[in-house]
Amino acid sequence: MISPELSETEAIERAKQGDAECFEALYGLHKRRVYSLCLRMTGNTAEAEDLTQEAFLQLYRKIATFRGESAFSTWLHRLAVNVVLMHLRKKGLPEISLDEALEPQHEDGPRKDIGARDNVLAGSIDRVNLERAIESLPPGYRIIFVLHDIEGYEHNEIAEMMGCSIGNSKSQLHKARMKLRDLLKLSRAERAARR
């Protein structure tokens, strides 16, 4: 008989022994964060569900190798990120194309449209609109932004995971934020026009 309440560490140890209920309990504890990560990185519900499934299957296949050097959630999260990136690479990389960051674009260079005090974003956007704007980002920008600004990975970690230079990671993050700024200002203007 399993205790109705169990620490995560105990659940991990029991899952290593093949305890079905502990597998399910670990899934219940982490599914939301893993699925949200997959959804934010892919922008596609069906893909996010498939990738969540694959991430947890890999987790369970490898759980015996988890030694606790890092937090379980950190380990799982990194695993999930790698599953998503591998999936996108298999799709032929356009989803995570670094070319978007490396090729000169019209939005490069100094911005001329900024300066008016009433253009400041602070205080005028909320998280719902920010989520929508993130969904609208080009995939290459979105992945770097999600990994760095939402999930808290450092540029050196992103560069390692993405197979790019640290400079590329910084450049793409900057462009993602600039694009978000444009999207949020547009969203704000549209909301104002509806009133």
Partner 1 sequence: MNCQEFQEALPHIVLESGGNAEEEAHLRSCPSCAILVQDLRYIADQAKLLLPMHDPSPRVWSNIERSLRSEGLIREGRMSLMGHITLTPQMNFPSQSKSWTPLGWAITLAAVIVSAVMLVNYHPVSPVSQEVLPSPAVSSLEGTDEQLMGQVAQQPAAVRSAYEDSLKKVNTYIADAKKAVDEDPSDQAAQQHLMGAYDQKAMLYEMGTVRSLQ
Shortest distance (Å) from residue 57 CB to partner 1: 6
Shortest distance (Å) from residue 157 CB to partner 1: 15
> Does the protein bind partner 1 through residue 83 (CB under 8 A)?
no
Find the binder of partner 1 among 44, 97, 124, 136 (CB under 8 A). Answer: 124
DSSP label at residue 68: S
Buried b (16+ CB within 10 A) or exposed e, 76-86: bbebbbebbbe
Compare residues 31 and 91 and give the one whose CB is closer to partner 1: 31
Within residues 27-46, the interface with partner 1 by CB under 8 A covers: 27-29, 31-33, 35-37, 39
Distance CA 166, CA 80 (A): 21
Shortest distance (Å) from residue 86 CB to partner 1: 18
Question: Contact at 8 Å (CB) between 37 and 49?
Answer: no
> Does the protein bind partner 1 through residue 104 (CB under 8 A)?
no
Within residues 146-175, the interface with partner 1 by CB under 8 A covers: 149-150, 152, 167, 170-171, 173-175
Cα→Cα distances 191→114, 136, 155, 195, Å: 20, 17, 34, 7
SS3 164: coil
Q: Exposed, middle or buried by CB within 10 Å (0-12, 13-18, 19+), for 34? A: buried
# chain residues binding partner 1, by CB under 8 A: 80
Site string for partner 1, 54-73 (x = CB under 8 A): --xx--xx---------x-x
DSSP label at residue 2: -
Stretch that binds partner 1, among 11-19, 78-86, 88-96, 157-165 (CB under 8 A): 11-19
> Does the protein bind partner 1 through residue 78 (CB under 8 A)?
no
Shortest distance (Å) from residue 92 CB to partner 1: 25
Per DSSP, the residues of 120-146 read --TTS--HHHHHHHHHHS-HHHHHHHI
Distance CA 43, CA 4 (A): 36
Find the binder of partner 1 among 82, 119, 156, 189 (CB under 8 A). Answer: 119
